[in-house]
Structure 1
Amino acid sequence: MVEPSPPAPPREISAVPPQPGFDRRRAWLIAALIVTFMLVNYADKAVLGLAAVPIMDELGISNSTYGLISSSFALLFSLSGLIVGFVSAKVSSRVLLFAMAALWAVAQLPVLFAASVPALIAGRMLLGAAEGPAASMSMHALYKWFPEDRRGLPSALQISGAALGMLIAAPVLTWLITGFGWRSAFAALATASLAWSLAWWRTGHDGPYGQEHARGSHPPTGTTRGPSAGQRFPYRRLLLNGTVLGSIAGAFGASWAMALSHAWLPVYLRTQLDMTPGRAATLISVVSAFSFVLLLSVPPLLDLLHRRGLSRRWSSGAPQGIAVTVAGLAMAAFPFADGGTRLALLAVAFGGHAITFPLHYMTVSAVVPPLQRGAVFGIVAATGTLPGLIAPYLTGHLLDSAASQSAGYAQSFLLSAVVMATCGLVALVAIRPEHDARRPTPTAAADPRR
């Protein structure tokens, strides 16, 4: 009698999810859309500053009132960035970015029907609420399409949308303002925002390097070299992490210069340097071009050095601290310089900090699990962009209270220099991604589904 063969052992089902390949073509299409998203985003921010002189003349408002209108943009900016950061764990990037861009279009409409201080404040508050999560959530969406060791150039391009926004928008919007009235610029931006939202709804989808791999034991190749994809740490520990705190400081210092640039640089060039609208727009474009060159050259080079063995601290942490510090020193010096030297220092003060933004996302990403990346990006953006609430109004107040406008601007720029240099030094000392990614956390081994 033939003995029956033993039953075959049950086939083991692997818990490891399939590792997605890098879809280069689709990833770069998403990157192009996100760069355009950021271009429109920063044009929206800049339009008030570019139209400031005709708006102030038409409505008869003071420097302090204009500063209040400009600062109103930031009233809900940080709060919305914080809330949407947590929402991003449950809502797709496709929906979030579509909703933001659609709201940008709506926010430009109040002044087209009733040009007044309340209408300007209402529009800027809604725009700020809709743009608060834009940089962090678009970077979060971008990272879902690029593995960790390929994010240097895409990150730089995403942030370069800011430089492009000023490089392209400054002359175009100035042409609209001088040729067709300042309301035409707001109408053009409403149309651009609506067109982008429709294009994104048709094309934008979440990529493979996101939260859908959180439950697997192995993340896709290249997604992270720090915390694994399935980990979830206490937010308190993440936010007290030196690298996260240093990244917040760097973003705060850079955002201070950016807030001044959007609100007061066009006014300063026209009222203190006696520039025509066209020449002021050209200089702003030159500053933006300088930022653009830095963004396209420095982060990709640092990413290459990191792949060749340079630590993340020195390839992305120290450079952002140095950039903000140097920009702060230039901010302190340019009001007292003359001629070409003043213009060169002005470009460094308002453009040299640009590399901080892609680099601070990269350092935070190195110590935060992918599951919590969107939320922490939102928190970092919310705290790092608070200068938008403070700097414009404070500058307007200094202008109205100083003995002269030139003295008020000098005080504002010196104060800005102190803030930026302090933030840069904190970032330089505190950002240590390799060290902080290895720090033990009580819930590191906990069930990732909690």
Structure 2
Amino acid sequence: MAPRTVTHSRPVSVPASDGRRTWLITAMIVAFMVINFADKSVLGLAAVPIMAELGLSNSTYGLISSSFSFLFSVSGLLVGFLSTRISSRVLLFVMTVAWAVAQLPVLVVASVPTLMAGRILLGAAEGPAASMSMHALYKWFPPERRALPSALQIGGAALGTLIAAPLVTWLIDGFGWRSAYAVLAVVSACWALLWWRVGHDGPYDEKHTANGSNALRLPYRRILLTGTVLGSIASAFGAAWALSLSHAWLPAYLRTQLDMSAAASATAISVISGLGLVLLLAVSPFVDALKSRGVSSRWSSGAAQSTAVCVAGCAMAAFPFVDAPGPRLALIALAFGGTAIAVPLHYMTTAEVVPPAQRGAVFGVVAGIGTLPGLVAPFLTGHLIDTAATPSAGYTTAFLVAGGVMLMAGTAALTAIRPERDRRHLGLDTGPHS
């Protein structure tokens, strides 16, 4: 068997990006993430009227919610590898067109099969969304300037829920839950048309930073088995467990267990998303400040994401046992909003140990495995609620399980993420990395 080799390309000049176009693309990608998370949130926000109209059990609703993830991880993996051959412009356009189409089945016939069909298609189209939009964004910024745009990109996710909660709830209350699906279909289609006109790959694309087949490449197995990539996947896994519960069950929990009105529930969800957005905007200067003082990536971006997942896990396990409304809501906000900073940081730590030409594929793998909780957590929660002595006891068990998973994931990430060590082991250069 021929030995594996790493071929280093000669340095090439990277064309300077146009500032206006760079920030236009950034704004488009933030909007992309806003729509992405609005689409994800609509089923959870409409859970109570949908369950009432169709007579669904908690387990059936949980299965419908989990169906979103049936193809989510697989499509994330496949599209990640396709990104080495297909432009980000085409990939993001096709995704958003599919988002629009996925909202249509329930407008024709509202039933369990059409709800599941729409969620499966939406999940397949959104599986690569976060990783591929981050990959597209990185093509417009050099490595030393990626912290802020990374935070803004993921900030779009928090902003999507923050905006979607009141607006979608208003649509549902005023015009019926189907109206929310129709509006989101139109918004997705409009973004796709605008992106086709203005979206282009940037000057820091791998074709500019390396010479085609001579690009620096490593065996994928070596990259994926580094502690940094495995730790980043663990961080993503813990954050995704909380995120999947937030989309699927948090609105129903607030309304049925805490006796909140639809408007009050939407406000609470917006506040939680606002906390996530604040944390995301704060993490960029925080990480940059630590690195400017010589703090390693292990302790700046690595420890920050790991600690966030652990702290949120503790809050998740604690809030069901707190009766005082104020402290309980604060813990709920921390449990579901505190993991927000883990998302951009696990991409940043992964990128530090991946050659640019392979970044999209590895991002796809990290996202595909890291988001697997979406396949398990919603259905498991519904099953626990249906089989417990009371719905309240079922929710408590589900949140304890979630807290335990998040604590284990955060601890694993803290132990494993060591970008500087792994770059040396992989034989990557010691200068600024992509």
| TM-score normalised by structure 2 residue count | 0.95
Do the aligned partners of 1:69 and 1:124 also contact (CA within 8 Å) in 2?
yes
State the match for 2:255 in structure 1.
Answer: 270
Q: Determine if the alignment matches structure 1 residue 366 to structure 2 residue 352.
A: yes
Deviation readout 1:315-354 (Å, 9 max, x if unpaired): 1001000000000000000011121010000000000010
Q: Determine if the alignment matches structure 1 residue 340 to structure 2 residue 326.
A: yes
Q: Determine if the alignment matches structure 1 residue 294 to structure 2 residue 279.
A: yes
Q: Which moved more, 1:46-55 or 1:309-318?
A: 309-318
Distance 1:71 1:401, change over 3 A: same
Give the match's secondary structure for 2:179: helix
Amino acid at match of 2:123: G
State the match for 1:349 in structure 2.
Answer: 335
Give the match's secondary structure for 1:278: helix
Q: In 2, distance between residues paired with 1:372 and 1:143?
A: 13
Q: 174, 177, 186: which one pairs with 1:182? A: 177
Do the aligned partners of 1:332 and 1:413 also contact (CA within 8 Å) in 2?
yes
Larger Rg over CA atoms: 1
State the match for 2:201 in structure 1.
Answer: 206
**Residues 208-287 of structure 1: pairs in structure 2 closer than 5 A:** 208-216=203-211, 230-287=215-272
Do the aligned partners of 1:299 and 1:359 also contact (CA within 8 Å) in 2?
no
Q: In 2, distance between residues paired with 1:187 and 1:158?
A: 25
Q: 127, 131, 136: which one pairs with 1:132? A: 127
Do the aligned partners of 1:324 and 1:352 also contact (CA within 8 Å) in 2?
yes
State the match for 1:61 in structure 2.
Answer: 56
State the match for 2:421 in structure 1.
Answer: 435
Q: In 1, distance between residues paired with 2:254 and 2:242?
A: 15
State the match for 1:104 in structure 2.
Answer: 99
State the match for 1:71 in structure 2.
Answer: 66
Q: 286, 299, 302: which one pairs with 1:317? A: 302
Q: Determine if the alignment matches structure 1 residue 162 to structure 2 residue 147.
A: no
State the match for 2:136 in structure 1.
Answer: 141
State the match for 1:224 in structure 2.
Answer: none
| TM-score normalised by structure 1 residue count | 0.91
Q: Determine if the alignment matches structure 1 residue 396 to structure 2 residue 382.
A: yes
Deviation readout 1:8-33 (Å, 9 max, x if unpaired): xxxxxx96533212432211111100
For the aligned residues, what is the CA RMSD?
1.5
Give the match's secondary structure for 2:339: coil
Give the match's secondary structure for 1:61: coil
State the match for 2:88 in structure 1.
Answer: 93
Q: In 2, distance between residues paired with 1:308 and 1:90?
A: 39
State the match for 1:3 in structure 2.
Answer: none
Distance 1:440 1:80, change over 3 A: closer
Q: In 2, distance between residues paired with 1:59 and 1:324?
A: 36
How far is 1:231 from its partner? 1.3
Q: In 2, distance between residues paired with 1:214 and 1:24?
A: 19
Q: What runs of 5+ residues in structure 1 fail to find an aligned partner?
A: 1-13, 218-228, 446-450
Amino acid at match of 2:396: A
State the match for 2:6 in structure 1.
Answer: none
Amino acid at match of 1:362: M
Q: In 2, distance between residues paired with 1:206 and 1:304?
A: 29
Amino acid at match of 1:286: V
Amino acid at match of 1:320: Q
Q: 179, 184, 190: which one pairs with 1:195? A: 190
Amino acid at match of 1:368: V
Do the aligned partners of 2:12 and 2:209 also contact (CA within 8 Å) in 1?
no
State the match for 1:9 in structure 2.
Answer: none
Q: What runs of 5+ residues in structure 2 fail to find an aligned partner?
A: 1-8, 430-434
Q: In 2, distance between residues paired with 1:354 and 1:299?
A: 12
Do the aligned partners of 2:17 and 2:202 also contact (CA within 8 Å) in 1?
no
How far is 1:439 from its partner? 0.3
Q: 113, 119, 131: which one pairs with 1:118? A: 113
**Residues 410-429 of structure 1: pairs in structure 2 closer than 5 A:** 410-429=396-415
Q: In 2, distance between residues paired with 1:137 and 1:197?
A: 15
How far is 1:304 from its partner? 3.2
Q: In 1, distance between residues paired with 2:407 and 2:76?
A: 25
Do the aligned partners of 1:333 and 1:345 also contact (CA within 8 Å) in 2?
yes
Amino acid at match of 2:178: R
Amino acid at match of 2:52: D
Residue identity over aligned pairs, in percent, reads: 68
Do the aligned partners of 2:14 and 2:209 also contact (CA within 8 Å) in 1?
no
Give the match's secondary structure for 1:205: coil
Deviation readout 1:146-196 (Å, 9 max, x if unpaired): 000100010000001111011111000000000000000000000010000
How far is 1:215 from its partner? 3.6
Amino acid at match of 1:300: P
Amino acid at match of 1:306: K
**Residues 4-19 of structure 1: pairs in structure 2 closer than 5 A:** 16-19=11-14
Deviation readout 1:349-382 (Å, 9 max, x if unpaired): 0000100000000000000000100000000000
State the match for 2:4 in structure 1.
Answer: none
Q: In 1, distance between residues paired with 2:194 and 2:299?
A: 39
Q: In 1, distance between residues paired with 2:148 and 2:11?
A: 29
Q: Determine if the alignment matches structure 1 residue 407 to structure 2 residue 413.
A: no
Amino acid at match of 2:269: I
Q: Determine if the alignment matches structure 1 residue 28 to structure 2 residue 23.
A: yes
Do the aligned partners of 1:317 and 1:432 also contact (CA within 8 Å) in 2?
yes
Q: How many residues end up aligned between the 2 structures?
A: 419
Deviation readout 1:7-62 (Å, 9 max, x if unpaired): xxxxxxx9653321243221111110000000000000000000000000000110
Q: Which moved more, 1:285-294 or 1:300-309?
A: 300-309
Amino acid at match of 1:198: L
Q: In 2, distance between residues paired with 1:23 and 1:337?
A: 52
Do the aligned partners of 2:315 and 2:335 also contact (CA within 8 Å) in 1?
yes
Q: In 1, distance between residues paired with 2:300 and 2:146?
A: 13
